[in-house]
Amino acid sequence: MVKIYQKAPEFTTDGYYEGKIQKFSLNDWSGKWTVLFFYPLDFTFVCPTELQQFSEKFDAFKRLNTQVASVSVDSPYSHEAWSKNGLKEQRFPMLSDLNHAISTSYGCYLEDKGLALRATYIIDPQGNLQWYEQNPLNVGRDADEILRVLSALQTGELCQAGWKPGEDTLSKKLGKK
């Protein structure tokens, strides 16, 4: 399992994006921040609420020089079918982890269930893991909180509990940079 400050595991996989199936690699987003979020399965109940929220917040992530991508153990063809029959097109790539190698390398694969936890990883432009969170299968995550953490990481400063973008950081309050 990857740990904070370590290189995020590289991968190449098929995914669905902008109406077609194509190849994606973590290396494609080198030089940008990356939010990689895993979800259990297509055609479920909680997952579409999360994917839709990330899609709605896509412009906010883009303003922070951040690429968002989702990952599940479904095939890219399942992602395509879900996007065309119920979910609607997402504004980010939906990646396939059919062989479970990506979710295993990131430490969020549940072998006994054959799927990934709801896990989110923030990777810096140099490819290092800076933050992660894992949620149980029945509880969705909040894209606004991930945006808050991403903004805090991008300051490079000490950010106190409850810090929000636009507020002074603890570093500024203490006169340190």
DSSP-derived secondary structure for 149-171:
HHHHHHHTS---TT--TTSPPHH
For residues 168 and 174, the answer to whether their CB atoms sit within 8 Å is no
SS3 22: strand
C-alpha torsion angle, residues 73, 87, 118, 58 (rounded to 10): 110
From 125, 86, 103, 92, select the one nearest 39 (Cα to Cα).
Answer: 103
- Alpha carbon distances (Å) from 174 to 158, 168, 169: 10, 10, 9
Residues annotated as part of the active site: 47
From 125, 94, 119, 92, select the one nearest 105 (Cα to Cα).
Answer: 119
From 32, 22, 59, 86, select the one nearest 143 (Cα to Cα).
Answer: 59
